[in-house]
């Protein structure tokens, strides 16, 4: 399922939710392709480049299980 997330300010909690997901959670890159956010190396890379200002304005993700989509939707709603 494709999800668009916006205005993420708590990156620690965001990656905690990502790590709880059972399947892959992919960051869809604007130039095409994707990065698996469940990889610790990808998380560090993402923090250093995409999220360098401490928050995320907009993010496009792909999940592969309904439960993972629900986790991320719950995070978006609850913060």
pLDDT interval class at 8 (50, 70, 90): confident
Q: What is each CA distance from 3 to 20, 41, 56, 76, in whole angstroms?
A: 17, 22, 14, 10
pLDDT at 50 over 80: no
Domain layout of the chain by residue ranges: 2-78
- pTM to 2 decimals? 0.82
According to the model, what pLDDT value does residue 60 have?
A: 92
**Does residue 47 register a pLDDT over 80?**
no
CA distances from 40 to 45, 71, 78 (A): 9, 19, 24
CA dist., res. 79 & res. 76, Å (int): 5
Mean pLDDT of the chain: 86
Q: Give 2-78's CATH code, choosing from 1.10.150, 2.60.40, 3.30.1340, 1.10.3470.
A: 3.30.1340
- What does the pLDDT look like over 52-74, one tens digit per residue? 566 778 889 999 999 999 999 99
């Amino acid at each position: 399922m494709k999800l668009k997330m916006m205005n993420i300010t708590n990156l620690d909690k965001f990656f905690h939710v990502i790590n709880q997901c059972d399947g892959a959670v992919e960051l869809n890159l604007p130039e095409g392709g994707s990065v698996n956010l469940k990889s610790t190396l990808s998380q560090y890379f993402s923090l250093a480049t995409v999220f360098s200002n401490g928050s995320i304005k907009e993010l496009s993700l792909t999940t592969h299980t309904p439960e993972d989509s629900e986790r991320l939707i719950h995070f978006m709603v609850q913060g």
